[in-house]
């Protein structure tokens, strides 16, 4: 059976497209949220755009900052920012599917016919509600845009393995990697992901594969030196290294990884701000993730020849969630948007499993695709409705993460802006009950209390 014969048919594709439009169309209704105020660029006096572009080199994440300038130049406000975010997501979905095809066939640039397994990969990644923060939340765009650059680099690596001029493709992949680093620092994991691709996924004699892997270590060194030469990035790295003891950072990350894994399979409520930095990690959940990781590593030795994409995909997920945030520990540990890059590996592993059974149960695979797409589409549409107002977002977040004081403080700020002072004071006091040292929340609670008193009869 050919790849074309294993496809899903035009009617199914039309259903998938309709579900995607309905699920993500809701995102266009949302306003700017929370940290968006710190990234959204407001057009100024004549000549503002040229001056802003000239100053990009002095900004942290200048490639990301350039997209926010594009939002401002477009002039559509929140709708325009969401259009750009949805466009980036669509590009990433296409790249996720093309790299999946490139890993299994010799089709140039992964443009071979999409079989049912590829449609599963594209659909699950496109419609998963866990990815809403990286797509709908304007300040979360760094996750989707850096993922796009990293996948483009990996696709160039896969293409270079087939061509006679590998240096050209190595240069193209390196350029995409640097753009990824100038978008978000997590792209520093790209060289290790490329080495893993050459050792686990790439086909052909071992000699050339090892040579390409070694060359990428040199590219990694050059990328690292280049990024550290960028002042804002260097200061960021310098401020993060060593802030948290290694053992504590590992436990925190494993706990957060378990939380994200649960959300990927539909366990628990989504939350834009889980607040891991405010609560002690769950040692049981961290232990389960650690044991699962050890078992996965041991199992990979025996199955990687038969299921290389499963091994590579799971390794991708673990590496991108653990390594960068242990080396550069964040106060917030992990948020939903960090799952965006990591879940690329999970959907590849899922697609490899679907590919193994699609010839035996083709009807079940196709029907299952539609059912999963509709379920994910409904969940993503509902999640996008949480972003329809600032108040709705933080009400949902406090329900999902009631121990997070920042969520209560943000709910209080949203209520205060709406003039609901009684409810705002209650929210601020709940935040202070969980984090009594928060000076800003203390001031906000006192301000609202005075305002309530001044309007009393």
Task: Per-residue pLDDT tens, the chain, 457 aa: give them.
Answer: 455 556 788 899 999 999 999 999 999 988 999 888 888 887 776 676 777 777 777 777 889 999 998 888 888 889 999 999 999 999 999 999 999 999 998 888 788 789 999 999 999 999 999 999 999 999 999 999 999 999 999 999 888 877 666 677 778 888 898 899 889 989 988 989 999 999 899 887 888 888 878 877 777 777 777 767 777 777 777 766 667 777 888 899 999 999 999 999 999 999 999 998 888 888 899 999 999 888 888 887 777 778 899 999 999 999 999 988 887 777 778 899 999 999 999 999 999 999 999 989 999 999 999 999 999 999 999 999 999 999 999 999 999 999 999 999 999 999 999 999 999 999 999 999 999 999 999 999 999 999 887 664 4
Which structure tokens are listed for 422?
């009684």
C-beta contacts of 211-217 below 8 A and 24+ residues apart: 212/157, 212/160, 212/161, 212/166, 212/170, 215/170, 216/157, 216/170, 216/191, 217/191
Same structural domain, 138 and 214: yes
Which structure tokens are listed for 138?
């304007």
In the chain, how many H helices and how many E strands? Answer: 21, 0
Enumerate residues 6+ apart whose C-beta is below 8 A from 26: 381, 384, 385, 388
CA distances, 38 to each of 42, 68, 138, 141, 254 (Å): 11, 11, 10, 13, 30
Domain assignment present for residue 313? The answer is: no
**Is the Cβ–Cβ distance between 154 and 196 less than 8 Å?**
no
Same structural domain, 195 and 154: yes
What is the tally of structural domains in the chain?
2
pLDDT at 263: 94
Same structural domain, 93 and 122: yes
pLDDT at 455: 62
**Is the Cβ–Cβ distance between 327 and 118 less than 8 Å?**
no
Domain assignment present for residue 324? The answer is: no
Distance CA 90, CA 70 (A): 18
CA distances, 7 to each of 10, 114, 120, 200, 344 (Å): 9, 6, 11, 27, 21
Enumerate residues 6+ apart whose C-beta is below 8 A from 355: 104, 115, 117
What share of residues in the chain are helix, strand, coil (percent, to 5)?
75, 0, 25
Residue 47, sorted as left (phi over 0), alpha (psi -120 to 50) or beta, turns out to be left
Dihedral sign of CA atoms 292, 296, 299, 303 in order = positive
Distance CA 353, CA 351 (A): 5
Same structural domain, 381 and 409: no
Same structural domain, 381 and 434: no
Same structural domain, 166 and 130: yes
Domain assignment present for residue 1? The answer is: no
**Is the Cβ–Cβ distance between 80 and 72 less than 8 Å?**
no
The reply to whether the predicted model has a pTM over 0.75 is yes
Domain assignment present for residue 86? The answer is: yes
Domain assignment present for residue 258? The answer is: no
**Is the Cβ–Cβ distance between 263 and 400 less than 8 Å?**
no
Enclosing H/E stretch for 320: helix 308-327
Q: What angle do CA 161, 301, 365 make, to 5 degrees?
A: 75
Same structural domain, 46 and 142: yes
Domain assignment present for residue 320? The answer is: no
pLDDT at 242: 64
Q: What is the DSSP letter of 202?
A: -
**Is the Cβ–Cβ distance between 195 and 23 less than 8 Å?**
no
Domain assignment present for residue 292? The answer is: no
Q: What angle do CA 323, 326, 332 make, to 5 degrees?
A: 115
> Which SS3 state, helix, strand or coil, does residue 294 take?
helix
Q: What is the domain extent for residue 438?
A: 404-454
């Amino acid at each position: 059976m050919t790849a074309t014969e294993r496809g899903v048919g035009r009617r199914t594709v039309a259903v998938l497209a309709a579900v995607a439009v309905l699920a993500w169309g809701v995102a266009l209704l949302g306003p700017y949220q929370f940290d968006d105020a710190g990234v959204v660029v407001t057009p100024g006096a004549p000549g503002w755009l040229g001056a802003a572009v000239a100053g990009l080199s002095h900004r942290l994440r200048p490639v990301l900052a350039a997209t926010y300038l594009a939002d401002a130049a477009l002039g559509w406000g929140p709708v325009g920012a969401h259009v750009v975010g949805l466009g980036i997501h669509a590009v990433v979905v296409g790249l996720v599917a093309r790299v999946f095809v490139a890993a299994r066939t010799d089709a140039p640039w992964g443009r071979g016919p999409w079989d049912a397994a590829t449609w599963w990969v594209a659909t699950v990644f496109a419609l998963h509600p866990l990815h809403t923060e990286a797509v709908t939340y304007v300040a979360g765009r760094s996750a989707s845009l850096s993922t796009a650059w990293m996948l483009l680099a990996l696709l160039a690596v896969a293409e270079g393995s087939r061509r006679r001029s590998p240096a050209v493709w190595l240069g193209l992949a390196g350029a995409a990697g640097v753009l990824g680093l100038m978008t978000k620092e997590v792209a520093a994991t790209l060289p290790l992901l490329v080495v893993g691709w050459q050792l686990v996924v790439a086909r052909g004699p071992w000699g050339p594969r090892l040579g390409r892997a070694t060359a990428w270590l040199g590219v990694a060194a050059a990328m690292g030196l280049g990024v550290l030469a960028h002042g804002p990035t260097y200061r960021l790295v310098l401020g993060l290294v060593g802030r948290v003891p290694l053992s504590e950072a590992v436990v925190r990350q494993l706990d957060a990884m378990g939380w994200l894994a649960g959300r990927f399979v539909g366990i628990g409520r989504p939350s834009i701000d889980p607040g891991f930095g405010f609560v002690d990690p769950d040692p049981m959940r961290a232990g389960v993730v650690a044991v699962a990781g050890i078992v996965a590593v041991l199992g990979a030795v025996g199955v990687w020849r038969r299921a290389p994409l499963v091994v590579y995909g799971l390794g991708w997920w673990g590496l991108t969630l653990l390594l960068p945030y242990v080396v550069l520990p964040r106060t917030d540990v992990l948020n939903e948007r960090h799952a965006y890059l990591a879940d690329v590996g999970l959907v590849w592993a899922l697609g490899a499993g679907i590919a193994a059974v699609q010839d035996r149960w083709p009807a079940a695979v196709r029907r299952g695709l539609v059912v999963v797409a509709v379920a994910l589409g409904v969940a993503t549409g509902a999640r996008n409705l949480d972003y329809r107002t600032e108040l709705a977002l933080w009400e949902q977040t406090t329900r999902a993460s009631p121990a997070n004081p920042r969520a209560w403080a943000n709910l209080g700020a949203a209520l205060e802006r709406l003039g609901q002072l009684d409810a705002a004071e209650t929210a601020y006091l709940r935040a202070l009950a969980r984090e009594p040292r928060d000076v800003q929340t203390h001031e906000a609670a006192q301000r609202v209390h005075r305002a309530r008193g001044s309007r009393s009869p």
